[in-house]
A and B are shown apart, each in its own frame.
Chain A
């Protein structure tokens, strides 16, 4: 029959007019009238024979046999999330997909699932594995909710394999994944390494150092930056050797990581060059500060500042970059030890230099943010840097260096003062969900005082010159977004979603603040539905 079909296909492809000998057609099924079975037209005869064979082929096409078999997922350890909570979580995921809710709400909700000791139902695994694979905050908040089936599934899909290794490590570790390090794909190797690094940074560092000389260049470039997790003095030797690498990318990664280790040899070498930058002159009117820019041409120094100077930029910008890296890499605590003054005084001194002051201050900010070590020193620098208001780009990161209570107090203070939303946003961004009640109350009364949310508000007319309306009318979208994500979820009557909705209802339709406030109310509501089911 196969032969008959293939003959028919060839005949039809070249055309019956081409004069090819007519194929041998299969006999017609019984019961057809003579007019159908005895076709004088050879084209029609081909079609009729093809019809018989087509149906036979469709009915008879046999699936192939295979020796592939599924590898069953190991048994789950946790009970499944109750149906009502799962339904609420599905609704949130739907809203996130539809852009009605920010994905940033997930770590809090999933952590709540984790805290109750539940696992995700199977249907939620793919979408949440996908999110966790790209958002480390989810896996650290709630890795266990994926349970056995989640790790099993993640192992099979390349984009999730790093996560699989992490989940696997978090749940005790299995030898099977160790093979990935030796003969897995580069992605699997990186996945295994990421997971091990999360669980046992020392062992992961030792594994990388031991295999370093045998690893292909691409693997080195992929793996070295992963040392950022769990970075410690134990990694210094490997990073130091990478500073001599032929690859600029590797040197750059190594320098960036070493900048996080204030006790490293590199930090000490940079300090030697950084210290003379700031000079204190005592005069009649007290001390005066001078900035003396070093040459920065010493080959040993350039080795430490490698890879960071971008030769596409102007010489002056390149010099600024070197100076920044020098300051950011030198140990932060050394400054107040060398100059027995408060950080604020040093910042004031550096700021006196119009050309390089800003660069030095940015270097200190990055040192405070990146360098592991003495919390009190970092906090005192962060406090001084924030007070100086000289580095607008790193405010949220600097606030995070301060104790939680201090952040809370500062936030309440700023809200009571009625600062503009755009100014408060970085501080509130540094306060994780859920916000404590006093911040929530302060935010509510701050919103209640905003003119754009008052009844009777009318937006300033946009004049013909296209002049923008008053800045006070611009909604601080970042801040209003944070409200939805972080306001605490409470049961009525102090429900914040309802309070926000009331504010928005009261506001005029044309107020540009109305829609983002309503959106925030919806987001709080989404969170509440999940969290209430988990109570």
Chain B
């Protein structure tokens, strides 16, 4: 039996202020006929402009962040005012309990159970199906497309039909990307000027089309755009039209690159690594087993940073490893759906120590994401990180080299030899040459960074981004401090 949610948490689900107001207005028993709740699902009929009332169903079995719902109204807001109104009504105890759900509610609930189970199975078997790409940490989570009302449900096809299914998918992808190409062209033809006023919906609509076209990586990029153009945090960031144009241009680049994978025309052919990078950015996934079948990279892998990103539905843990011998970086991911267990094999060595192990990289032109293979020994004290630490200029050059291989990369790990300093506009990491990289905190406590470094140049593991560095860990006199 679900605990009733507070009004505030329900209102927090509203996609915008207008929906919040409208939902509030509908939160009266009069607005819904034959409303009921069995403690797991809420249902009700809302009068609309058409002949038939809208059927509203809400899954309230979990927390507000795991809400699921459907409403037959034509609104493109998720959740719509009917869902909000009914849930608000329930949160104030005004929905009568009933053991017998309405037919439409029961049908939807069964459907939902099936798709949830299918998704959980898929997660068990494979890397999370919606992980957009290895080097992308992005603001929006891979799970963002699951938050919408209708679970899309992955197609499960019998092995015999695999070839046909692949062709069918290729056709969908091509058609979807063509649609996106037209859309991008339209944006630039009519001008970007009005975009911020169009709101999240503007991107949500085309992103939903990309989910249908089975390119969830593209959908995730589109859904990140409102946050990208809305952020004003970084001093080096340009104005929003420039940031928006950057995002559109990179999408256009991805479309062209995908097309040329199949048919390079009279240009240079696209190699298998680049093709793998392109398909990873489009959102094609590989199973862990596929990756583990690839060649191993044996090294003493030093665990340099751990970052946990908790999202409403899908949380992720990111382990940053540096090969002591090769100097190569690897990113190992774990995922968790809701309150379940972590899937994926994590490195078995404490932060700051090293493990002799085989990592298997996801193929690509600038491989970063990896699976942990055989581990030979773990927990060895790591060689001083100072040897691996870079100046800011070196880190920038390394990032540029990665971009040359994978132009869609947003961030890349690095160890900087730098001092955290508080500047007028925020925290900086300043190296011996006086170069300053702005610090993007993304939730870390800058005072922890300052405490660990003690005003001295320290080995700071960061993710480098063009707009600043995201600190992950610091080597302090008292050991490695996770940020």
Contacts and interface: CB of A to CB of B under 8 A. Distances in A.
Pairing of A with B: yes
Interface of A: 5, 8-9, 12-18, 31-36, 41, 43-44, 46-48, 50-51, 53-55, 57-73, 76, 80, 83, 121-123, 125-126, 129, 149, 152-153, 156-157
Contacts of A13: 191-193, 241, 245
Contact of B452 (A8, A62, A76, A123): A123
B430 A70 contact: yes
A459 B215 CA distance: 59
Given A13-B193, A35-B265, A122 B481 contact: yes
Contact of B188 (A46, A66, A83, A121): A46
Contacts of A8: 245
Interface in B374-407: 392, 396, 399-400, 403-404, 407
B210 interface: no
B478 A68 contact: no
Contacts of A156: 422, 450
Interface stretch (B164-172, B250-258, B307-315, B359-367): B250-258
Contacts of A41: 185
Contacts of B264: 33
Most buried by B among A9, A51, A72, A80: A51
A153 B422 CA distance: 12
A196 B319 CA distance: 47
Interface residues of B, number: 66
A68 B421 contact: yes
Contacts of B373: none
Nearest to A15: B191
Given A47-B252, A55-B407, 14 more contacts: A35-B266, A36-B260, A36-B265, A46-B188, A50-B248, A61-B396, A64-B436, A66-B423, A68-B430, A71-B455, A76-B477, A123-B481, A126-B451, A153-B447
Contact of B447 (A65, A80, A126): A126
Nearest to A68: B421
B453 interface: yes
A51 B253 contact: yes
Question: Which label, helix, strand, loop or mixed, suits the secondary structure of the A interface?
Answer: helix
B403 A59 contact: yes
B252 to A, nearest CB: 4
Given A12-B188, A47-B252, A125-B451, A63 B437 contact: yes
A121 B242 CA distance: 44
Contacts of A43: 185-186, 188-189
Contacts of A73: 454-456
A112 B437 CA distance: 41
A121 B452 CA distance: 9
Contact of B249 (A31, A47, A60, A76): A47
B189 A16 contact: yes
30 contacts: A5-B242, A12-B191, A12-B192, A12-B241, A13-B192, A13-B193, A14-B191, A18-B191, A33-B260, A43-B186, A43-B189, A44-B181, A53-B249, A54-B249, A55-B250, A55-B253, A57-B246, A59-B399, A63-B437, A65-B434, A65-B436, A69-B419, A70-B457, A71-B455, A122-B477, A122-B478, A123-B478, A149-B454, A152-B455, A157-B447
A15 B188 contact: yes
B451 A66 contact: no
Given A47-B185, A51-B249, A123-B448, A67 B476 contact: no
Nearest to B248: A47
A64 B478 CA distance: 31
A80 B478 contact: yes
B456 A153 contact: no
Contacts of B453: 70
Nearest to A124: B451
Contacts of B404: 59
Contacts, number: 186
Given A17-B190, A63-B435, A66-B430, A34 B250 contact: no
B456 A36 contact: no
B158 interface: no
Contacts of B260: 33, 36
A68 B450 contact: no
A35 B263 CA distance: 11
Given A63-B437, A64-B436, A122 B451 contact: yes
Contacts of A76: 477
A123 B455 CA distance: 14
B428 interface: yes
B420 interface: yes
A68 B476 contact: no
B437 to A, nearest CB: 5
Interface in B414-461: 419-423, 428, 430, 434-438, 445, 447-448, 450-457
A410 to B, nearest CB: 44
Contact of A54 (B190, B250, B421, B477): B250
Given A12-B241, A15-B189, A123-B478, A58 B403 contact: yes
B451 A9 contact: no
B125 interface: no
A33 B266 CA distance: 5
B267 A31 contact: yes
Contact of A67 (B184, B434, B445): B434
A12 B438 CA distance: 29
Nearest to A55: B407
A152 B456 CA distance: 12
B466 interface: yes
A299 B193 CA distance: 71
A9 B241 contact: yes
A70 B481 contact: no
Most buried by B among A13, A48, A64, A156: A13
A16 B252 contact: no
Query: Which 5 pairs from chain A and chain B are nearest by CB?
Result: A15-B191, A33-B267, A33-B265, A50-B249, A59-B400
